[in-house]
Structure 1
Amino acid sequence: MSTQISTSPPPAVTDERSSLLRLYLGRGVLAVAWALVFLGAHEDVDALAVTLLVVYPVIDAVSSLIDYRAVPDGSERRVTAFNGVLSVLAAIAIGIAGAGGVAPVLHVFGAWAVISGAAQLIVGLRRRGAELGGQWPTLISGGLSFIVGISYNIQAAGDDPSLDVLSVYAAGGGVWFILQALMMGWKSRQLRTRAL
């Protein structure tokens, strides 16, 4: 009598992967949509522009809450919670900075990008297992966020700061999230095929 060893991942991993796939895809699509709307709405730092600027970290905070509820207890969950709280604080700070114009907004957004990029790198490193798609897009996105955030603070201190870069930032981040979702979906299909 032969015993067949199942190669399918445990149900908890499958549930986490499915939840993260939906989260990454939704987060990516929202980021790209935000970038397209913001592209035509930030000529002046008016009420509409400030509202959109506040909405972006709020989207990140909600995503972090969904992520927090989907992952098991542990250090990864604590980093996710930290990122959610950070995004709420960033939304408040950006709303206040909006009254000061482009440079203060760019400073706050840049600082948030640096810290949240570092948090994203940590989470990506902890999720690097094959079951969750390797997380390379997440790692690259987090690293770029960190570097770009520094450049935003340098630009904000210069003579001609511009919010144009934020549309590029959001669109780029959205593409990386979508790519991560696609990689996870591909990995899911591979694992299901092997389990048959």
Structure 2
Amino acid sequence: MGTHLSDTTRFQDERWLKRFYFTRAAFSAVWVALAFTIGQHLTAIGVALLIAYPVWDALANYVDMSRSGGMRGNFTQAFNVFASAAIAIAVTVVLHVNTSSVLDVFGVWAVLSGLLQLATAVRRRRRFGAQWAMILSGAQSALAGAFFIAQARASMPPAIVKVASYAGVGAIYFLVSALWLSAGQLRRRFASTP
């Protein structure tokens, strides 16, 4: 009975995580489309998008953390919630004071959130498997953040274009993770069917 209950709970948690990853992929895809189509041309919308992205990340991590056992069991996500919220505030301030520093702020955030995502994925791998894309995503995010910081003063496209490219890659990782979890569920379903 205990094993069946834990299998059922695991299946429900895995199904929720799959939907969560699909939602994150969809949000990022829409955000990227808006950033490339209108965000880089209309300053006010670009500013709103740059602020909205870390706000969304904070909210998404909060929901995931709450659904996955709360703050005590998910320290990396709890810290990511606070870091993303702080970055949203920092982006707001920087965009009103010195717009050339916005890529620095996103770089710091990408490094920090990438490392936290990597740690969360490694922890989840024990329970769910199918976290290799999230592990790669976290590592890639940290590297991208370092490049953002290195390129912050270079002559290049607007910051929103760089951040949108970064977000687009993140959307792909979330989509791959959701699809991988879906494939695992299908494999188990067919294996248990007589």
For normalisation by structure 1, the TM-score amounts to: 0.88
Residue 116 (1) aligns with residue 108 (2): no
Alignment partners' CA distance in 2, 1:195 and 1:73: 32
Q: What amino acid sits opposite 1:168 in the alignment? A: S
Structure 1: tracts of 5 or more residues without a match: 1-5
What percent identity do the matched residue pairs reach? 28
Cα contact 1:45–1:102 (8 A) shared by 2: no
Counterpart position of 1:155: 151
Residue correspondence of structure 1 range 92-131 to structure 2 within 5 A: 92-129=89-126
Alignment partners' CA distance in 1, 2:132 and 2:99: 33
Counterpart position of 1:143: 139
Distance 1:109 1:45, change over 3 A: farther
Alignment partners' CA distance in 2, 1:8 and 1:23: 22
Q: What amino acid sits opposite 2:132 in the alignment? A: W
Range moving further from structure 2, 118-127 or 6-15: 6-15
Q: Give how far 1:69 is off.
A: 1.6
Give 3-state SS (helix, strand or coil) of 1:10's partner.
helix
For normalisation by structure 2, the TM-score amounts to: 0.88
Alignment partners' CA distance in 2, 1:45 and 1:94: 17
Q: What amino acid sits opposite 1:153 in the alignment? A: I
Q: Give how far 1:81 is off.
A: 1.1
Q: What amino acid sits opposite 1:158 in the alignment? A: A
Distance 1:9 1:187, change over 3 A: farther
Residue correspondence of structure 1 range 1-196 to structure 2 within 5 A: 10-43=7-40, 46-72=43-69, 77-129=74-126, 132-160=128-156, 162-163=158-159, 164-196=161-193
Q: What amino acid sits opposite 2:37 in the alignment? A: G
Cα contact 2:40–2:158 (8 A) shared by 1: no
Cα contact 1:45–1:98 (8 A) shared by 2: no
Alignment partners' CA distance in 1, 2:74 and 2:12: 16
Give 3-state SS (helix, strand or coil) of 1:40's partner.
helix
In terms of fraction of residues, the more helix-rich structure is: 2
Alignment partners' CA distance in 2, 1:76 and 1:45: 42
Give 3-state SS (helix, strand or coil) of 1:157's partner.
coil
Q: CA RMSD in A?
A: 2.2
Q: Deviations over 1:30-81 (max 9, x none)?
A: 0011011011334468322111111111111111111112213586511111
Q: Give how far 1:145 is off.
A: 0.4
Alignment partners' CA distance in 2, 1:184 and 1:161: 36
Alignment partners' CA distance in 2, 1:167 and 1:43: 10
